[in-house]
Structures are given as C-alpha cells and as structure tokens.
A and B are shown apart, each in its own frame.
Chain A
C-alpha cells in the first residue's frame, strides 16, 4: 500500500504524534536517570521515620508484693482552638470541659476564644476513666494524649525509702532514684520510612531496637513492720514535741532492712508540696553525735583485745573526773563500777577510762572496723558517712570524749549496723533495701545476697557483749523501759546535746535507743532516734519506750511468718505461679 503516496495532512499528523512520543521518551529518560542526588536526599529526608518507643516504669513492691509505687494510665486533654473557633462550638466545649475537669469556665473561655493555631493543652494527667467519660461526650476538636503517672498507693508509707519519680518519669529520691535505670527500662528506637499520613511503612524498617519494659523491684521492707514503726514514731513525735524522729529495723543475720522511717514525712503523690528538706531520709543522711550508745563499741573493742574483763572494776570518781584539764561528768554519780555496770548505768567516766586503757591507736582501728566514718553502702541515695577524725587530729582528751559518743558523728544506719554486728557474732553486714528485681516477664534478674563488710570482733566477744547489753534493760538499767515481757532485749540508751556553733546546746538533745531481740539469739535490731524531744530528753525515757512499742508487735508478727516470708518477692516464677 505504500506504492501510493499518502495525503500530506495524514503525514503531518503522523509526524506530530511521533514527535510527541519522542519528546515524552526523552523526558522519561531524564526523569528516571536524573543524577540529582540533592533531590534524592530530599525525598529520603521526607520519608524518614524516627520513632522512640516509650515503656512503662516498673513497680515497687514491699517484700510480700504489696504495691508501693506503680504507673497508672492517664490522658493529657488538649483541643484544637483554630478549628473549634471556626466551628463555633467554643462555648459549648468549654462548658463541658470545665464541668468534667473542674476548671474555671471564664479562664478557659478566655484562653480559647478567638485563638488560632491547632494546639492548646487543657489539663495534664487526667485519669483514664475520666478521659473516657469525656470522650463519650464526642466533643469536637478535643483530643487525648496517652501518658502515665506515677502513683503511690501507700501515700506517705515508706516515703523516704520508696522515693518518688518526677513528672518526666525520672527517679528523684529513694529506690526510685537509686534503681532508676532498672525501673525505667530501655526506650526502643526505630528508623524506618513513613507514608504521607506519617505512619510507618513496616517493610522499610532499617533499624529496630526493641524496647525493654522497666523491671519490678521487691523491697526487703515489710509494710506491716513499717506500719508499726511509723505509728510508734508519730506517737513519740507528739508526746515529746520532737522536731523529728527516725527508726530502722534490720535483720541482723542478713543486713536487710525491714523498716525505715523518718519523720516528718510526706505524701509521695504530692512530693512537690513540701519543703525539699522533708524529702531527706534522715535515718541515713543525718550525722549526729551518738552519745552513750557509742560506749558499746569502745567496750566491745577493749573486751576483744582482752585488756579488760567484764568484772574488772573502774573508779568512777563519784561523778566528776578531771582529765587533761577538763572535767568529765556522769549523769548520776557512781563510785566503783564493774565493766558490766558501766554499760548498764552508762557511766561516762568508766567508758573514758576503758578507752584510755585501750589506747588511741586500737580505739581508732576498732571504730573504723565497725564502719564509723564510712558509708554503710546501703542501696539508697543521699547517704552520709558520719565523721571520725583520724588520730593525728585528736587532742589529748579526744579519746575520753569519743568513748562517750562525742567528737564523733554517725548516722542512725551506721549505729544500727554496728549494733547488728555485735548481734551477728561480730560480722558487720551491708544493709540493703531492695531484695529482688524481676524483669517484665517475671524473671528474676537480681537477688540481693547478704554481704559481710568487716568482722571487728570475735564470736566470743560478741556473745559476751550481748549478755552485757541485755543487762541494760533489766531493773535499774538505763534502758529498762525497752524491756519486753516475752523476749530479752539487749540494747543501749543514748542521750547527747546537739552541737551548736561554739559548743553544745543546753536545750536541744538527741535521744536514742539501739538494741536487738532476743538478746541470746538475735533476730532483729532496732534503732530509734528522737530529735529535740521536749522537755524529757534522755534516751532511756524518750527512745526506749518507742523501741518497745515497735519491738513488741514486730516480734509477734515475725513469729507468725511462714518460711516463704524470708524470700523477698517470692521464689522463682515456676514456684510462684501454680
């Protein structure tokens, strides 16, 4: 058919169309093979999807699994004010929100009316069920962000041990702070590509670090024991008009803490509403001069060295003894006292003479072995280490002053550890408050093991000291008010004037009692410190009755515990779940 030429018009059409096809082919080559790296980079940037996967914070339980801290689901309520104003529903929506969220309607209207933009926060941390109620109202332009809020069901219970986490979910005190990294878990991280609706395209995921949920912690503390402690302290605060009071209960064989309280306390759910000073756990962070309770350490050292015997008699100078040009006085004057009675009657002069006989070098060595002036290593933040100057800085009379618990400072935790070492055949244990940590699958990732820090005295000396300390609570001893009907209590009272600039205060005292039960085969040790009791101020009168008030119900409670109680946070998962 090509023999005859075509009309020129048809040829025109043919050429035009083919030219158009040719042009488009060229354009396709250019588009597909465009070596424009900047454009490719720009497209990839648009597509890039980065996502942090947040995780729930672990819970904190007491040793029996009672929840002390846990996350609860909350919603942040927000609105889109631009759309709301455009739709003309401001009045209605504001009224409903004000009613549901307890907000001031006028303020809310003022904030929303006529505003542009697409984001206005209304209220943070609204409980999830409340948010669901609001959602059910189907209010236009109201949105909810999911979040979580730390909740402390116990309120002020164990406040200083549990601690709190701030609004950003970072632990800021107590176990919440110390174990923040376990509780917080690990945020997941993902790099991928997203579609135009900003959702991830799963097949384009190039990096995926899975999140790790926070672990749960089981404290060694027992809510019931803690309750007895806090109750007794509150009563003492009121009775003696004290500025503060703190107490610790420890298991002597392991060093684990069964209760630790420091008054004044605060509700963990409203930690921001109190003076930050109240956040301080004074049971571990308040250095004070221990007074007579410290004599126990000096006498234990001397007995251990064998330079005295318990029946050796010292002249207590009828109450006043001049040594190194300075007078040393006893609260009650005594003549001759045996070592046993020096403890029982708490003679300053007797203790000073024993310390002198022991010598500066031995005294310092023993005190350091007992952990004085050193952190106990308890797993809580903010611990203080007490204060014991090195021998080079001692004056001539320092030995006599340290012997009666002056010129030396300890924390209640240190003092209790020292006493527990005597109760525990001379082994000084590291105190701890977290017994077990479980990951989000319930697997145990940590179990605290009792840890011996030092052994300052022998088993025989420890046994001898226990007998001597048991006499303190007998009739005529300074600590008779700590005696229990069913158990022998071994202990020591302490009373000290508080140091003020230039000397000691006449009116401010620290009254304390530290001891263990039962004296023959000790289970637990307890320290009670009352800060500035008025008007009574001696350890025997103020602190010993608190000790009794704690020890009595605690011993009864512990006697009724089954064997499982000793394993913090339950045994392994297999055993725990039937």
Chain B
C-alpha cells in the first residue's frame, strides 16, 4: 500500500508544481492589470500552497477514525457557514454569487468545505447502515435529506458547478454502498428535472446552454470564453507556444488563471503536458480506489472513495468545460487553479486519503467486506 500512497503523493506533488508555475504564467497579466503587480496572484497562491501542504501533512498523521465522530458537528458547522454567506452584508458577492466569507485577510469559500463535510457525513451514515442500505428509509430517504439540504444551500449561493459535483459524488457513494438502483434512478431523475427547471428559470444559465450548442453564433458574447479556450488548444498545437508565451491569457480568455487555467497549460506546453495532466488525475483516481478497497473498515473505505471521486470528478468536469465538452460552469481544477479554499480542501482531502492508506490491511483481512463481491460478505 506504500507504493499506492507514493503514487498518489507523487501525482499530487507534480500537479502542484505544474500548477504554481502555470498560475504565475497565467495570472501575471491579470495581476499587472488589476493590481499593478504581476506576482499578485502568484504570491497569494504560494502562501495558500504552503498552508495547505502543512494542513495536508498534518491530516495525514491524524488517525482518520476521529472524523467518524466529528462528521456530524463538521456538517452542522459547514451548513451554518453556508447559510451565513446568504445573509447580505456577511457574504462577499462577486459576479452575482455570494460564495465567500471574509475572515480578516482571508476569504473562505464554505462551498469548498461542504465537499469534505458531505463526504464525511455520508461515509459516517452509510458505514452505520451499510447492511441495511437497500432499505428505503435508511438507505435512501435519510441520506437524501441531508444531502439535499446541503445541496440546496450551495445551490442558493448560487454555485451550480459545486452543487452538481457534490450531488454526483454523494450519489456515487450511495451507489457503491448498495442503495437500490431504482431509488437512485428515480431520485436522480427528480433532481435533474428540478435542476433543469432551475436552469430554465435563470436566463443567463439558459443562454450559456444555447451558446454551448451553437458557439459560433454567440462568439462575441456567451461563447467568447468557450471559443477562446478552444483557440488556446489550437494555438498550442502539439508542442505548445512555450512557457509564458500564451496569447490567450492576455485577456482574450476570461478566468485564465482560475477555472480556465487548463487551456493556458495546453497553449503554452502543448499536447504532451495537457495529456500528462489527465494521466496524473487517472493515477490519483486508481490509487485512491486502491486505498479505498484496502481500507480496514467501511467508514475508511467510503471516505477514501468519496475523496477520490471528489477530486476525480472535479477534474473531469473542469477539463470537460475547458475543452468545450460540457456547458460552462464555474469549477476550479484541483491543485492547479487559483483559489485558496479549493487548494486547502483538496490537500486536506489528500491528507485524509493518505492517512487511510497507512491503515490499510492485506487483502482478505478486512473486518468488513464492503466493495467485495456480495457473495463473500453478505
């Protein structure tokens, strides 16, 4: 299991290194423009990176089992913070979204913390009831209620991307534990319908969907970002324009150092490096699943699975959006995009994952049979 942990650690460190270099490259123009300081974003991200690495290292040393007891209080605190952002005057509103809470010099994004809280809460509940996961009330209703409550708070900010991400990871956790597929499908359809109506209700969201379907027609407006991200990859070609040589980051591509940084990586470093990023996330995914399968008991298994899914799904959604495969929604690329809370939460989750890896046991030695073929553990 040490090899798996090293694999995950290595992949994360490579992504962080690439990330901080590319962040400097992608944000220098914006920093110069907005703050007359090309290192503005870089220095902030560097501080957050050091903090987050410390947090990750610390969490990898703390026995993950304490999170089982802390799961409920953490979830309550997170939901309280999410509710606070909705109160005008307390939450900081940027571009129409109240996602931030200011704490002195720091601004925190409670929706990021909602990710980890949801994983722990779901793992706590599902590990308690796993043998009765097929029951409707325990397996479906109760988790749906607390998952739904958390999703609603995130959705109201509004943060559509994170809502979808948390819903997806929560559902996948319920799925692997063994909640009836029919329940999940029905709940999923209901949720999607509700989401669809919410999107229809919001004119801006709707235009983004339409623009996604005919980008050329909306080149100067809604599809501007989408098309300029595509241009970045085209300009990068096989070998890339060279580090620091991106043109798209010069204000053609909005959010070049945050949600769309992957396009700048593609433009400056070419196909090899953008594929490498994908491969690194696949390594984290495979490694995380192995840690999950080899965890000693079901809370650890589920927590590891949730964390793995969270990081992987977020990377997939982000890259899907940036490559124009999915409609635009605001999600940062884990370990790379600018954003302190995102970095802190990603590395904290990695820390917990690595701690679970330390407690892994040889195959067949588990006290609980989660993830094994039903015949063996039922």
Binary interface profile of A, 193-229, with partner B (CB < 8 Å = 1, else 0)?
1011100010110000000000000000000000000
Q: Which residues of B contact A39 (CB under 8 A)?
A: 231, 234
Question: Within 8 Å of chain B (Cβ to Cβ): is A31?
Answer: yes
B290 to chain A, nearest CB (A): 8
Q: Which residues of B contact A27 (CB under 8 A)?
A: 323-325
Question: Within 8 Å of chain A (Cβ to Cβ): is B359?
Answer: no
A285-318 interface with B by 8 A CB criterion = none
- Cross-chain contact B373 with A34 (CB below 8 angstroms): no
Question: Within 8 Å of chain A (Cβ to Cβ): is B235?
Answer: yes
Minimum CB distance partner of B364 in chain A: A4
Question: Within 8 Å of chain B (Cβ to Cβ): is A28?
Answer: yes
Binary interface profile of B, 220-260, with partner A (CB < 8 Å = 1, else 0)?
00000000001101111110000001010011100000000
Bound CA span A570–B338, Å: 64
- Cross-chain contact A18 with B175 (CB below 8 angstroms): no
Question: Within 8 Å of chain B (Cβ to Cβ): is A43?
Answer: yes
Question: Within 8 Å of chain A (Cβ to Cβ): is B266?
Answer: yes
Q: Which residues of B contact A10 (CB under 8 A)?
A: 176, 289, 293, 371
A158-200 interface with B by 8 A CB criterion = 193, 195-197
Q: Which residues of B contact A6 (CB under 8 A)?
A: 293, 371-373
Bound CA span A47–B249, Å: 13
- Cross-chain contact B172 with A13 (CB below 8 angstroms): yes
Q: Which residues of A contact B175 (CB under 8 A)?
A: 9, 12-13
- Cross-chain contact B274 with A32 (CB below 8 angstroms): yes
B324 to chain A, nearest CB (A): 8
- Cross-chain contact A43 with B231 (CB below 8 angstroms): yes
Question: Within 8 Å of chain A (Cβ to Cβ): is B285?
Answer: yes
Binary interface profile of A, 19-33, with partner B (CB < 8 Å = 1, else 0)?
011011101110111
- Cross-chain contact A7 with B323 (CB below 8 angstroms): no
Q: Which residues of B contact A2 (CB under 8 A)?
A: 363
- Cross-chain contact B373 with A4 (CB below 8 angstroms): yes
Bound CA span A401–B376, Å: 138
- Cross-chain contact B316 with A17 (CB below 8 angstroms): yes
Question: Within 8 Å of chain A (Cβ to Cβ): is B331?
Answer: no
Bound CA span A70–B3, Å: 80
Q: Which of B251, B266, B324, B362 contacts A32 (CB 8 A)?
A: B266
Bound CA span A403–B235, Å: 84
Q: Which residues of B contact A23 (CB under 8 A)?
A: 325
B252-298 interface with A by 8 A CB criterion = 252, 266, 270-271, 274-275, 278, 281-282, 285, 289, 293-294
- Cross-chain contact B271 with A7 (CB below 8 angstroms): no
Bound CA span A39–B33, Å: 29
Q: Which residues of A contact B252 (CB under 8 A)?
A: 195-196
Q: Which of B29, B294, B316 contacts A195 (CB 8 A)?
A: B29
Question: Within 8 Å of chain A (Cβ to Cβ): is B374?
Answer: yes
B343 to chain A, nearest CB (A): 22
Bound CA span A33–B274, Å: 12
- Cross-chain contact B282 with A43 (CB below 8 angstroms): no
- Cross-chain contact A28 with B323 (CB below 8 angstroms): yes
Question: Within 8 Å of chain A (Cβ to Cβ): is B309?
Answer: yes
Bound CA span A569–B219, Å: 60
Q: Which residues of A contact B10 (CB under 8 A)?
A: none
Question: Within 8 Å of chain B (Cβ to Cβ): is A273?
Answer: no
- Cross-chain contact A7 with B373 (CB below 8 angstroms): yes
Q: Which residues of A contact B176 (CB under 8 A)?
A: 7, 9-10, 13
Question: Within 8 Å of chain B (Cβ to Cβ): is A117?
Answer: no
How many residue pairs between the two chains, A and B, have CB atoms under 8 Å in the bound complex? 116
A17 to chain B, nearest CB (A): 6
Known: A3-B363, A10-B371, A21-B281. A28 touches B275 (CB 8 A): yes
Binary interface profile of B, 303-328, with partner A (CB < 8 Å = 1, else 0)?
00000010011001001100111000
Question: Within 8 Å of chain A (Cβ to Cβ): is B178?
Answer: yes
Q: Which of B245, B278, B289, B362 contacts A28 (CB 8 A)?
A: B278
Number of interface residues of A (CB under 8 A): 38
Binary interface profile of A, 43-61, with partner B (CB < 8 Å = 1, else 0)?
1000100000000000000
- Cross-chain contact B251 with A197 (CB below 8 angstroms): yes
- Cross-chain contact B316 with A21 (CB below 8 angstroms): yes
- Cross-chain contact A21 with B29 (CB below 8 angstroms): no
- Cross-chain contact A32 with B270 (CB below 8 angstroms): yes
Known: A6-B371, A7-B176, A13-B175. A47 touches B234 (CB 8 A): no
Bound CA span A197–B252, Å: 8
Bound CA span A142–B278, Å: 51
Q: Which of A7, A9, A21, A47 has the most CB of B within 10 A?
A: A7
Bound CA span A531–B345, Å: 97
A25 to chain B, nearest CB (A): 6
Known: A9-B176, A32-B274. A43 touches B293 (CB 8 A): no
- Cross-chain contact B266 with A28 (CB below 8 angstroms): yes
Minimum CB distance partner of B178 in chain A: A9
Q: Which residues of A contact B275 (CB under 8 A)?
A: 25, 28
- Cross-chain contact B266 with A31 (CB below 8 angstroms): yes
Q: Which residues of B contact A332 (CB under 8 A)?
A: none
Known: A13-B175, A33-B237, A34-B234. A7 touches B372 (CB 8 A): yes
- Cross-chain contact A3 with B364 (CB below 8 angstroms): yes
- Cross-chain contact B278 with A24 (CB below 8 angstroms): yes
Q: Which residues of B contact A34 (CB under 8 A)?
A: 233-234
Bound CA span A391–B212, Å: 90
- Cross-chain contact B278 with A1 (CB below 8 angstroms): no
- Cross-chain contact A201 with B247 (CB below 8 angstroms): yes
- Cross-chain contact B274 with A28 (CB below 8 angstroms): yes
B376 to chain A, nearest CB (A): 6
- Cross-chain contact A4 with B376 (CB below 8 angstroms): yes
B118-156 interface with A by 8 A CB criterion = none
Known: A9-B175, A32-B237. A195 touches B247 (CB 8 A): yes
- Cross-chain contact A193 with B270 (CB below 8 angstroms): no
Minimum CB distance partner of A32 in chain B: B271
Minimum CB distance partner of B239 in chain A: A32
Minimum CB distance partner of B281 in chain A: A21
- Cross-chain contact B289 with A14 (CB below 8 angstroms): yes
Bound CA span A25–B280, Å: 12
Which residues of B are at the interface with A, using a C-beta cutoff of 8 A? 29, 33, 172, 175-176, 178, 230-231, 233-238, 245, 247, 250-252, 266, 270-271, 274-275, 278, 281-282, 285, 289, 293-294, 309, 312-313, 316, 319-320, 323-325, 362-364, 371-374, 376
**Could you list 9 examples of A-B contacts with CB < 8 Å?**
A4-B372, A7-B373, A13-B309, A14-B289, A24-B320, A31-B266, A39-B231, A195-B250, A197-B251
Which residues of A are at the interface with B, using a C-beta cutoff of 8 A? 1-7, 9-10, 12-14, 17-18, 20-21, 23-25, 27-29, 31-34, 36, 39-40, 43, 47, 193, 195-197, 201, 203-204
- 12 additional contacts (CB under 8 A) given A31-B234, A33-B238: A1-B362, A2-B363, A7-B371, A9-B175, A9-B178, A10-B289, A14-B289, A28-B275, A31-B230, A32-B266, A39-B234, A195-B250
